[in-house]
Structure 1
Amino acid sequence: MDLASHYNNLFTESCEKISNDNYVIDTQIDDLCDNRLGITLLIRPSEEIKNSIQLFLNELKGIDASQYYYPNSDIHITILSIISCYDGFDLNNITIQDYVAVINKCITGLNKSVINLHGITASPSAVMIQGFPSDTSINDLRDNLRSAFKQTTLEQSIDKRYSLFTTHLTVVRFRKPIKNKDLFLKTLHKYRDYNFGKFEIKNLELVHNDWYQRAEFVKTLSDFKI
Structure 2
Amino acid sequence: MHLQEHYDQLYEDSIRRIKSDAYQVDELIDSASDNRFGITLLLRPDDAVKAEIQKLLSKLKLLEPHQYFYRDSDLHVTVMSIISCYDGFKLSQIRIEDYIETIKESINGVGPFKIEFRGLTASPSCLMVQGFLEDNTLSQLRDNLRDNFQNSGLEQSIDKRYAIQTAHATIVRLREKLRNKDEFLSLVGAYRNHCFGTFKVNALVLVYNDWYQRKEHVQTLHKFELK
Aligned to 1:50: 50
CA distance in 1, matches of 2:111, 2:203: 11
CA distance in 2, matches of 1:48, 1:214: 20
CA distance in 2, matches of 1:29, 1:163: 24
Shift of 1:90: 1.2
Moved more, 207-216 or 3-12: 3-12
CA distance in 2, matches of 1:116, 1:99: 29
One-letter amino acid of the counterpart of residue 135, structure 2: D
CA distance in 2, matches of 1:162, 1:34: 22
Aligned to 1:78: 78
Deviations 1:23-62 (A, max 9, x none): 0100100001101000000000001111110000111101
5 Å-filtered alignment, 1:29-44, equals 29-44=29-44
CA distance in 1, matches of 2:10, 2:184: 17
Shift of 1:111: 2.6
Aligned to 1:130: 130
Aligned to 1:193: 193
Aligned to 1:64: 64
CA distance in 2, matches of 1:5, 1:195: 18
One-letter amino acid of the counterpart of residue 185, structure 2: L
Extract unaligned runs of 5+ from structure 1.
Answer: none
Aligned to 2:213: 213
Secondary structure of the 2:24 match is coil
TM-score by length of 1: 0.99
CA distance in 2, matches of 1:90, 1:109: 31
Secondary structure of the 2:53 match is helix
Residue 158 in 1 paired to residue 158 in 2? yes
One-letter amino acid of the counterpart of residue 22, structure 1: A
CA distance in 2, matches of 1:139, 1:172: 25
CA distance in 2, matches of 1:39, 1:65: 30
Aligned to 1:147: 147
CA distance in 1, matches of 2:119, 2:179: 23
One-letter amino acid of the counterpart of residue 213, structure 1: Q
Moved over 3 A (4+): none
One-letter amino acid of the counterpart of residue 39, structure 1: I
CA distance in 2, matches of 1:190, 1:35: 37
Deviations 1:141-175 (A, max 9, x none): 11110110010111101111111000000000000
Superposed CA RMSD in Å reads 0.6
Residue 5 in 1 paired to residue 5 in 2? yes
Residue 176 in 1 paired to residue 176 in 2? yes
TM-score by length of 2: 0.99
Aligned to 2:222: 222
One-letter amino acid of the counterpart of residue 224, structure 1: F
Deviations 1:117-147 (A, max 9, x none): 0011111010000000111111111111011
Extract unaligned runs of 5+ from structure 2.
Answer: none
Secondary structure of the 1:145 match is helix
Shift of 1:83: 0.3
